[in-house]
């Protein structure tokens, strides 16, 4: 799998400069104090002041630093060196106390040994991971007894659709490597960037089962018929400010949140 992960890493390295300048990420407002976190994760996390948080697949750290602004001691992890370099620069510029580690999820044990009260990950993360059993094992390893894991993610039903989100194309289950030629990026569709990326679809049963097998107990599970981001083709914004596919409004689950607690016997 290393060749696929290396190819994806190259694409994400290239995206950092584009994303950091995009209106989508709005880094200027973030530097001025605006949080990059959405209401879903904020409600699920609750008061995190004084807690330790491990943020997996953090990109260039805006959510990590938003968590730090809430008073948590946060460690952000991403496999893109370009992303981690920018995250560290932002941390210093904003005089925050987050720590950043450049590592893919599966090799994190080579770089980090401490435990955390919370492990957090969100939005477009697990589709880059071929093996959720190893992912869940790592989450369990890094959680303190009774620690909390939270994932807020795009719904796996969404990833069954073709690139124009018009018809079914891919399996709901993790039985194929999805190879996609990409041009531009969700943050800037006209950006001069292209390449081949590789992904893996994971059903809800695979996600939940992998966590259960590794000593995590489900606290809450929610599905949402909208996206908080305008990051897919042919989306329209509703009066509530959220995004849906035209002609499919409120007919498909577009996101979910899953909160778990580590069994204190594990």
CB 78 within 8 Å of CB 16: no
pLDDT at res. 44: 98
Residue 265's pLDDT band, with cuts at 50, 70 and 90, is low
Largest CA distance in the chain: 51
pLDDT tens digits for range 128-151: 999 999 999 999 999 999 999 999
Mean pLDDT of the region 88-93:
98
Number of domains in the chain: 1
pLDDT tens digits for range 231-252: 998 999 999 999 999 888 899 9
Considering only residues 166 and 17, tell me which one the structure prediction assigns the higher pLDDT. Answer: 17
**CATH, residue 166:** 3.40.50.150
Residue 8 clears pLDDT 80, i.e. is over it: yes
The whole-angstrom separation of Cα 57 and Cα 44 is 19
Q: Domain containing 179: what range?
A: 2-262
pLDDT tens digits for range 43-76: 999 999 999 999 999 999 999 999 999 999 999 9
The whole-angstrom separation of Cα 197 and Cα 4 is 8
pLDDT at res. 266: 56
pLDDT at res. 163: 84
Residue 13 clears pLDDT 60, i.e. is over it: yes
- Burial status of residue 116 (CB atoms within 10 A of its CB: 0-12, 13-18, 19 or more): buried
Residue 184 clears pLDDT 60, i.e. is over it: yes
């Amino acid at each position: 799998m290393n060749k696929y992960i290396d190819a994806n890493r190259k694409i994400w390295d290239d995206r950092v400069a584009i994303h950091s300048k995009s209106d989508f990420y709005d880094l200027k407002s973030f530097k001025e104090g605006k949080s990059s976190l959405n209401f879903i994760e904020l409600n699920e996390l609750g008061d995190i002041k004084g807690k330790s948080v491990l943020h997996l697949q953090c990109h260039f750290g805006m959510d990590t630093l938003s968590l730090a602004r809430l008073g948590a001691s946060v460690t952000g992890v991403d496999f893109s060196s370009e992303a981690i370099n920018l995250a560290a620069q932002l941390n210093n510029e904003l005089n925050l106390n987050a720590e950043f580690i450049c590592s893919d999820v599966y090799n994190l044990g080579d770089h980090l040994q401490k435990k955390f009260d919370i492990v957090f990950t969100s939005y477009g993360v697990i589709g880059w991971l071929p093996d959720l059993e190893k992912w869940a094992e790592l989450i369990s390893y890094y959680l303190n007894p009774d620690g909390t894991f939270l994932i807020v993610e795009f719904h796996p039903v969404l990833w069954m659709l073709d690139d124009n989100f018009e018809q079914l194309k891919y399996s709901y289950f993790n039985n194929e490597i999805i190879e996609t030629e990409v041009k531009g990026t969700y943050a800037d569709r006209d950006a001069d960037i292209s390449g081949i990326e590789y992904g893996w679809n994971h059903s809800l049963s695979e996600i939940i089962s992998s966590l259960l097998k590794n000593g995590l107990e489900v606290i809450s599970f929610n599905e949402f018929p909208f996206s908080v981001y305008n990051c897919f083709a042919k989306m329209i914004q509703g009066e509530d400010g959220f995004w849906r596919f035209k002609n499919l409004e409120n007919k498909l689950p577009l996101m979910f949140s899953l909160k778990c607690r580590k069994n204190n016997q594990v």
